[in-house]
Amino acid sequence: MQAKFKAEEANRAALEAERIAAKEAAEKEAAKASKANTSEVPQTEASGGPNATSSRVENDKTNKSELAGNMLRAAESALKLERERLQKLKELEEINQSLRSSSNQNFDSTGRLIGRLIRQISGNKDKVSTQASELVKIFNNPRCPQTISIAYFAQKVVSNCESPSHSAFACAHVIVLVTSQFPQVMDLVLAEIHRACIYTVPKHISYTKSAFESKEAYWKVIGYKEDAGKIESTTDYLVRLESYMKLYGALVQTEVAGCQNVHGLKEGWAWLARFLNALPANMYTAVALYAFLQMAGFALFRKYRSQFMKILNFISENFLNALRSQDDPDLRPIMSKIQCYLEDKLFLQEPEGRTLQSSLLSNNMAPESDYHGPYHQQSRHFY
């Protein structure tokens, strides 16, 4: 039984390595082609806010490949952050591989304990605090190297978000509580999120016959799962994409008294600007955008007010129109959801589960009188 388990684990690792290698190769090819065609895009600094009168604006370039159209689409700053985070994760994995090979200990029990604690996270404030405290104790337990415990946490906290019972806001609170004591863990969690879902970077890779041997090869590169040689359906892929984006959206807007969220709301604003400045409007990006707004839109509006309204104006006049122009019946449900979010001003309503209490806060946190419609066309770039 143990031998069979190890063989299956090795097979999964090999498939994952193959998928990552294929994705890196495609991105490298697209990046080479993009050098001949880059355009400057004003981008809010990660350390600042979208205050048009006082914040500095950096020139951020959007990678646009000429391989049969735009193959790789992403802001250069987003790709740089992704590379840095993935490199940290790779270094951590190499350290842990060395530790495992030089030790007779089996650390699987620690991984199972961390996984169980994460699965037990719920939207109860006391439960969240307890689970975070238990995780910190594990990190400080000398019986298991801290790097191994941290790797387990980053991997399992991301994979758990696919569970139907998963509470994104509660999980985000646990991440913030843990990373407030171990700040280096945040980049590792983000690396796992990026590895699971490219839209959390954000970036998009388009299919081209010159870059991919088949549609199946492309699907694996953008994150479709393969089981027994069969690629999952687009419906299943989009459900997972939505789950990852909800976790990311919940994370950036989470504030915990006495703790610092090292990847807070300003990072959520930067993500949204990079997303809309660089990525095309299609089924994948529409699902990603809607999931993010559901979780983070309320907090972004409370923080940035008029500047966030410019973002919504652009989505209304440009992103939605780009979806409509494709005349694709499959896009109608997600278009309807985004349009409803804008027209019904759902960003004024606190999302369910955001407050870890039995009674949710009222909409008085963001009174409707603060919103001054209607929508107007805005500049392509956000500051």
The string of pLDDT tens digits covering residues 59-76 is: 467 764 433 346 999 999
Burial 145-165 (b: 16+ CB within 10 A, else e): bebbbbbbbbbbbbebbeeee
Of residues 252 and 374, more confidently modeled: 252
In a domain, 253, yes or no: yes
Structure tokens that stand for 197 in this block:
């879902």
pLDDT at 24: 53
In a domain, 270, yes or no: yes
In a domain, 312, yes or no: yes
| Mean pLDDT, rounded, of the chain | 83
In a domain, 381, yes or no: no
Reported as a pLDDT band with limits 50, 70 and 90, residue 379 is very low
Reported as a pLDDT band with limits 50, 70 and 90, residue 127 is very high
For the cut 60, the answer to whether the pLDDT of residue 372 exceeds it is no
Respond yes or no on whether the N-terminal peptide bond of residue 333 is cis (omega within 30° of 0).
Answer: no
pLDDT at 70: 62
Structure tokens that stand for 82 in this block:
């992704």
One-letter amino acid for residue 315 of the chain: I
For the cut 60, the answer to whether the pLDDT of residue 316 exceeds it is yes
In a domain, 378, yes or no: no
Mean pLDDT of 25-29: 49
For the cut 90, the answer to whether the pLDDT of residue 128 exceeds it is yes
For the cut 50, the answer to whether the pLDDT of residue 381 exceeds it is no
pLDDT at 165: 84
Of residues 162 and 372, more confidently modeled: 162
In a domain, 382, yes or no: no
**What is the DSSP code (8-state) at residue 362?**
P
Q: How many domains does the chain have?
A: 1
For the cut 60, the answer to whether the pLDDT of residue 214 exceeds it is yes
Q: pLDDT digits over 130-166, tens only?
A: 999 999 999 999 999 999 999 999 999 999 999 988 8
The burial of 35, by beta-carbon neighbours within 10 Å (0-12 exposed, 13-18 middle, 19 or more buried), is given as: exposed
Residue with tokens 């000398």: 142
In a domain, 147, yes or no: yes
Q: What is the DSSP string of 86-149?
A: HHHHHHHHHHHHHHHHT-----HHHHHHHHHHHHT--S-HHHHHHHHHHHHHHHT-TTS-HHHH
pLDDT at 15: 45
pLDDT at 201: 98
In a domain, 5, yes or no: no
Mean pLDDT of 27-54: 39
At residue 40, φ and ψ (nearest 5 deg) are -80, 135
Q: pLDDT digits over 282-298, tens only?
A: 999 999 999 999 999 99
**What length is written for the chain?**
383
Q: Which residues have CB under 8 Å from 6's CB, separation 6+?
A: none
CATH number where 89 lies? 1.25.40.510
* Residue 183: domain span: 14-370
Lowest mean pLDDT among 77-86, 202-211, 362-371: 362-371
Query: What is the reported pTM?
Result: 0.81
For the cut 60, the answer to whether the pLDDT of residue 230 exceeds it is yes
Reported as a pLDDT band with limits 50, 70 and 90, residue 122 is very high
Q: pLDDT digits over 323-366, tens only?
A: 999 999 999 999 999 999 999 999 999 999 999 975 344 344 33
Radius of gyration of the chain (CA): 21
Reported as a pLDDT band with limits 50, 70 and 90, residue 23 is low
